[in-house]
Amino acid sequence: MVSLTGGNRHDVTQLKPLVNALPAVRGRRGRPRRRPLSLYADRAYDSDPHRLFLNNRAITAHLARKGVPHGSGLGVHRWVVEQSIALLHWFRRLRTRWEIRDDIHEAFMSIACAIICYRRLTKRSFC
């Protein structure tokens, strides 16, 4: 799922809307899941309100603690996010935002995500 916000907004403000907007996950038989089983995030999200919000939705929070030295092991999962952002930057139009209207930019982001997923599923190269 991709969400577009202003450049001057902090990521922490978008945790609750992003979790609430998750679509149903299809998979095994039965009622589809409406939430992820766990969530990995960096130190910026380490606060009691965010932990309580995730616990109320039965989501296991793997948040790096503030004031604790590095080495928690969350960097492995963080790399996936950084790789996804790097893949989006392969699309020159997303690297620098030229569109004034946010709905057009969000549409290009959705198209780019669909192309990335297609290429991953068909095992084509990214060149």
Helix (H, G, I), strand (E, B) or coil at 25: strand
The pLDDT of residue 99: 83
Same domain membership, residue 55 and residue 19: yes
Distance, in Å, from the CA atom of 39 to the CA atom of 61, rounded to the nearest integer, reads 5
Reply yes or no on whether the pLDDT at 105 is more than 80. yes
pTM over 0.75, yes/no: no
Same domain membership, residue 98 and residue 63: no
Where in the sequence is the domain holding 123, given as residue range(s)? 93-127
Q: Can you tell me which residue has the tokens 């080495």?
A: 71
pLDDT digits 0-9 by tens, 20-52 = 887 777 677 777 777 778 888 877 788 888 889
Same domain membership, residue 80 and residue 61: yes
pLDDT digits 0-9 by tens, 63-101 = 877 777 666 666 666 677 778 888 888 888 888 888 888
Tokens of 86: 């790097």
Helix (H) or strand (E) holding 79: helix 75-88
The pLDDT of residue 72: 62
CB atoms within 10 A of CB 108: 16
Helix (H, G, I), strand (E, B) or coil at 33: strand
Domain count, the chain: 2
Same domain membership, residue 110 and residue 55: no
